[in-house]
Amino acid sequence: DAGITQSPRYKITETGRQVTLMCHQTWSHSYMFWYRQDLGHGLRLIYYSAAADITDKGEVPDGYVVSRSKTENFPLTLESATRSQTSVYFCASNSLRTGELFFGEGSRLTVL
């Protein structure tokens, strides 16, 4: 089925460990985004990508790394996880025509 999928859906890790959250979309949308969702802050943009090999920082990029070697994949890596990165992470892709964002179901990350 067409859509956007994230994995893992749930992850528990420890401070200092590296974690990668995966995102895959089947629409061939050019733009992809990573948001984090926290109580009291709503959704905040971490990184986005306009196309393969083109990425740029969003509002809260510190502590995160992204890559986009293929149009359909946009992994998010926490190189050394901190407790403040405990959050729900959403990947999204963007219709060029309307700007509408299509979201994955989210990845809930807990850093102990």
Instruction: State the residues that interact with other proteins by CB under 8 A.
Output: 29-31, 33, 35, 40-43, 45, 48, 50, 56, 58, 90, 92, 94-106
Give the integer Cα–Cα distance in Å for 16 and 6. Answer: 22
Residue 15: CB minimum distance to other proteins, A: 25
Q: Alpha carbon of 93 to those of 35, 57, 72, 81: distances in Å?
A: 11, 16, 10, 25
CB of residue 99 vs other proteins: minimum separation in angstroms? 4
Name the minimum Å distance from CB 16 to other proteins. Answer: 28
Our CB check for other proteins shows the closer of 72 and 105 to be 105
Considering beta carbons, is residue 17 or 51 the nearer one to other proteins? Answer: 51
CB nearer to other proteins: pick between 16 and 54: 54
Q: Is the CB of 17 or the CB of 54 nearer to other proteins?
A: 54
Rounded Cα gap, residues 112 and 102, in angstroms = 30
